[in-house]
Amino acid sequence: MEATQPLFDTGNTGFMLLATSLVMLMTPGLAFFYGGLVGRKNVLAIMMQSFVSMGWTSVIWYICGYSLCFSGGEGGIIGNLDMAFLAGIEPTTVFAGSARIPVLVFCAYQMMFAIITPALITGAFTNRIRFPAYLIFLTVWLLFVYFPFVHMVWGGGLLAKWGVLDFAGGIVVHAIAGMAALAAVFYVGRRRVADPGMHSIPLVALGTGLLWFGWYGFNAGSELQVDGVTAQAFLNTDTAASFAGITWLILAWTLEKKPKFVGLLTGAVAGLATITPCAGYVTLHASVAIGITAGVVCYFAITLKNRLGWDDALDVWGVHGVGGILGTILLGVFATKTINAAGADGLLYGDSGFFVKQLVAVTAASAYGFLFTYVALWLIDRVTPVQTSETEESAGLDEALHGERAYD
């Protein structure tokens, strides 16, 4: 009697459950990272904005998010509602790829990406946005920015059909979130009450460690199975982060005369953001170049931001926005099919057309993320005040908005 193939590949399924757990851990990591960077009176408010996304985004994902991202609309901008409330997905339903994992596992994995992406934006408007406005913004931004770009890039939509690549979220996560953060900075304006900031660098370090750890699931897990590309993405992730962090440290030491710990941590996160779209498509040597470039470009992007007086409190634009855009463009330079046959050859390997596609796609996505966010905040302001009052800023958002304190 001929042996039947098991329904699921247990190795791939186990790996993807682990990767899903790692990506989930990134959102608490982000909360610690941001929480350490703000003053003592605003710790809980900024951390809550990350944690509430874990709950509310999961609700939206169940109701319609997964369906809008991954059903129907082939070659289009957004999916349909055929799988709303996860209709038709059974425990035995197999994901329609080569990995032979349950659809439920893929659904959970992608949900973790949806949770952390809007949470990234919150670092830009820390101490300045009211909680009801944030909840409305979180909802509309997922529906009209995040879900369409997931569908267009990862759900067989418009950009995927055009040949645009994004291994783990250069466009889908970092570019659109970073540019949304910049739009929020421009709309909400500068803080009216000076915030001492960075009340706990050890919390920043803890958050960075959790983010870096979780990023292996973020990038390596995006292969959706265990193979050579998985290993390549894993090592590329660590290499780019390491080179970016050390590059940032050297720059700060040279220009600011001190080897700054927060600079090392910020540089590592910039490297992680920049390698994200490239992780499974480039060589290890390319990841070194990408990491160094990320350290330099993101460092000077933040320097420029400071000179221009933009109050991007936690440097979301300079790290995630610039990093995501830079990584997407560098993918157009360094991508090679010798690493991933499902990928493309970049500019260095003779395909200038792919480079142009990456450049056009990330420019259009960034512009849309910026414009939609600005207009959305203006509209929300007509319904409920977006910006906190000077009195609330002075008292601290923990006490003023939530009636709680992080410290006695």
Orientation of helix 43-60 relative to helix 131-141, angle to 10° = 40
- Residues 215-245 have pLDDT tens digits of 999 999 999 999 999 999 999 999 999 999 9
Closest CA to 116 of 213, 218, 216: 218
- Reduced to 3 DSSP states, what percent helix, strand and coil does the chain have, rounded to the nearest 5? 70, 0, 30
Domains of the chain: 10-402 (1.10.3430.10)
Query: In this predicted structure, what is the pLDDT of residue 6?
Result: 61
User: Which CA distances in Å does 253 have to 241, 260, 366?
Assistant: 18, 7, 32
Each residue of 186-222: pLDDT tens digit?
A: 999 888 887 777 899 999 999 999 999 999 999 999 9
| Residue 270 confidence (pLDDT) | 97
Q: Which DSSP category does 280 fall into? A: T
Is residue 179 a contact partner of residue 370, using CB atoms and an 8 Å limit?
yes
The pLDDT score that the predictor gives to residue 281 is 98
Tokens coding 93: 């339903």
Using an 8 Å Cβ cutoff, are 113 and 23 in contact? Answer: yes
pLDDT at position 4: 55
pLDDT tens digits along 282-335: 999 999 999 999 999 999 999 999 999 999 989 999 999 999 999 999 999 999
